[in-house]
A = this chain, B = another copy of it.
Amino acid sequence: MNFCSHCGQPVRFAVPEGDDRPRYLCDACGSIHYQNPRIIAGTLPVRGSQILLCRRAIAPRKGYWTLPAGFMENAETTQQAAARETQEEACADVSLQGLYTLINLPHINQVYMIFLADLAGGFAAGAESLEVALFEEHEVPWDELAFPTIERTLRHFYTDRHADRGFPLHLSDITPEDRERYFGSA
């Protein structure tokens, strides 16, 4: 951020009076520009013993497999965002079940929220996907997953499914080291 989005004058990065962390400040109009984490909402679509994955057609991690997910937009709920992203990336209508993983990525200011979902109808590659396919557990391309959030969500899923104890929310954090394996090789 270089200029004030309200008045167009240059901003500076400093701690406002009464605050405890630096913000972008405009001395011309007095605006304080806060920046906050963004939510990435998506689904883990399940059909019987199979799950749906999308192969990314766009950067980052083009060509790698992911769950349908993307940035939550203003004026929608997390559930609407998750269902919309599933429709956009996999052309699939899903029935959302519970929130399944909530994963913080504080070093990149993101919070992932993945819902379990029932996939009943068809699917196809959306504009951001090269292909979309169903996988049995032994077919999951573990070495070709796009992001650590996806791997973690799938690990939880198979662990919970084998334990036959339901699918409770899993809340966790991802560190820069967790991401290294993915983005060192990208």
Contacts and interface: CB of A to CB of B under 8 A. Distances in A.
A74 B5 contact: no
Contacts of A95: none
B74 A39 contact: no
B34 A36 contact: no
Interface in A153-186: 168-169, 171, 173
Contact of A102 (B72, B99, B109): B99
A16 interface: no
Interface of A: 1-11, 18, 21, 24, 33-39, 71-80, 98-99, 102, 104, 106-107, 109, 111, 127, 168-169, 171, 173
A41 to B, nearest CB: 10
A34 B3 contact: no
B73 A36 contact: yes
Contacts of A111: 39, 72, 78
A13 to B, nearest CB: 12
Contacts of A168: 168
Contacts of A33: 5
B37 A72 contact: yes
Contacts of A109: 74-75
Contacts of A104: 77-79
A99 B171 CA distance: 8
A1 B8 contact: no
Nearest to A105: B77
Q: Which of A34, A37, A106 has the most CB of B within 10 A?
A: A37
A36 B37 CA distance: 9
Nearest to A75: B106
Given A77-B104, A78-B171, 8 more contacts: A2-B8, A3-B6, A5-B33, A8-B8, A34-B71, A76-B106, A79-B104, A99-B169
